Amino acid sequence: MSAAGPVGLSAAQFAAEFPFHLLVDAQDGIRQTGASLARLMPTGPSVFADWFRVVRPRIEPDFAGLAAWAGKLVVLESKFEPHIRLRGSVQLLEDRSGVLLLMSPWITRLEDIETLGLTVTDFAAHDPAIDLLFLQQANVTALEDTRRLAAKLKERTLSLDSISALSPDGIILFGPDGRATYVNPALGRLMGETISFFMDMTESTFVGFLSTLLDFGQILPDFDTLATSDTAAEQGGDRRRYPRATFTIVQPERRVLSCSVRCGEGASRVLYFRDITRETEVDRMKSEFLSTAAHELRTPMASVFGFSELLLRRDYDEATRKDLLSTIHRQAGALIHMVNELLDLARIEARAGKDFRITLQPLKPIVENTVASLLVPNDPRQVVVDLPEAMPDCAVDAEKLQQALTNLLSNAYKYSPEGGEIRLDTLRSVDGSRIGIRVTDQGMGMTPEQVARCFERFYRADASGNIPGTGLGLPLVKEIAEILGGAIDIESTFGRGTACVLWLPIGEGDVIRAA
């Protein structure tokens, strides 16, 4: 007998819509059950009253009682499985051979569904339990999403922590309550304190601490103003205009710091500090270089231009004409020398020694040839050379090394206007891995401040202009020494002379470099 007739559905549709239905015949026997209910019921023939009791209404659990209640709702309770309750309507078959109970499970707890071993596929779309299962599925999905997002958040947090820990810029985060909740190691290094020193510190306390580090005459920026400007820049969508302020601290060491503020959610905000000491110094040196270079180039050019213009405009006697031409020639030579030194310095820096011809060769002949070729006009002094009988072989470019030594010896002559001995000898490093070529004079000497700046381009210890030179010699020597794997040390006492030591590594010529 088809179960589809009473409800007007096909057999397949009926099976899908009522997986918990029951068909009870006139003899009270259960003749047919839905697929899901059949999985739960014991196998074999059964009598309806043996397996179910009618909870509502209070009628007899047999065909007669059910037939009398046709067209109405009933609630059944299982005798074989206490977790099963069914509710639905009673339909009397047209031939009165049985009643069809169109039931749905009445289950309100996920634990009961799991105990029965049922899944979503066991229920029809209209069964109340399906909503419970879908809710559970949604909760499980939401839980998985939450866990996945938490993992991503943790990964992102760890990445940001790693980045901020490696950053050379100092970062301190103040929460909505105005207390520090995060500090990176760089801030501690900039301020000379440990991270724990700043944790839980209020912003006002931090500002007070920062004030104690300031250089004389410096004023801290107004962080509230920076925060307001930051918000305006963010709302304007122009991140390039984030406001910054700079100030100088002297503890734990002298630094120029740039500070900016980023506003977060709520009242939280981040203070960001960058050490711009080097950039500031480079800007200063660049400005001084351009100013000095322009001045140094302009002086001989003005002489060349002025005297040549005089020669063009007026006729002079032969002696005067020769004197003017001599001045033009001398100034043009100085100009060419200056430009050549600039080009040499720029080329050495740009090529990083790629055009050096470095080979392992005896050092003594190079030094002796340098001294022999050094002729200082109108100066009767000679360089006192004190070289050992045997000098080690070094990996050098002979031409470039000779250029460096010539500059050192030339400086010794120029900065000894009152005379005095100029001496060239050698030293050995403590570990014996380097040899030093030392040039010593008894001249003007330099103060510690002048020694600190002597490798700056165009810097002249003598600012009077009485001593000729470009201020490019020592920077050039330093570049050559470093490319040869060595270094240059300078010791000087003001008014008593200077000692320059050009250090070179010994016997490191296994690899020959050539342009």
pLDDT band (50, 70, 90) for residue 375: low
Architecture of 5-133 per CATH? 2-Layer Sandwich (3.30)
Are domains 167-275 and 359-505 of this chain identical in fold? no
- 5-9, 115-119, 428-432: lowest mean pLDDT where? 5-9
Q: Is 376 exposed, middle or buried (0-12, 13-18, 19+ CB in 10 A)?
A: middle
Q: Find all residues with CB under 8 Å of 76, minimum gap 6, and list them.
A: 52, 53, 54, 55, 85, 86, 87, 101, 103
- Please indicate whether residue 49 or residue 341 has the higher confidence score (pLDDT): 49
Rounded Cα gap, residues 254 and 501, in angstroms: 30
**Average pLDDT over the chain, rounded to an integer:** 83
Could you tell me which CATH number the domain at 359-505 has? 3.30.565.10
pLDDT band (50, 70, 90) for residue 438: very high
**125 phi and psi angles, rounded to 5 deg:** -60, -30
Q: Which one is the CATH code of 281-351: 3.30.300.20, 3.30.470.20, 3.50.50.60, 1.10.287.130?
A: 1.10.287.130
pLDDT band (50, 70, 90) for residue 28: very high
Would the CA dihedral through 45, 49, 53, 59 be positive or negative? positive
Percent of the chain with pLDDT over 90: 25
Residue 358 pLDDT greater than 80, yes or no: yes
Average pLDDT over residues 407-414: 86
* Sequence spans of domains, the chain: 5-133, 167-275, 281-351, 359-505
Rounded Cα gap, residues 482 and 499, in angstroms: 19
Average pLDDT over residues 398-420: 85
Domain boundaries 167-275, CATH class:
alpha beta
- 30-39, 52-61, 139-148, 327-336: lowest mean pLDDT where? 327-336
**9 phi and psi angles, rounded to 5 deg:** -115, 155
Helix axes 318-351, 277-313, angle to 10 degrees: 150
Bin 14: left if φ > 0, else alpha if -120 < ψ < 50, else beta.
alpha
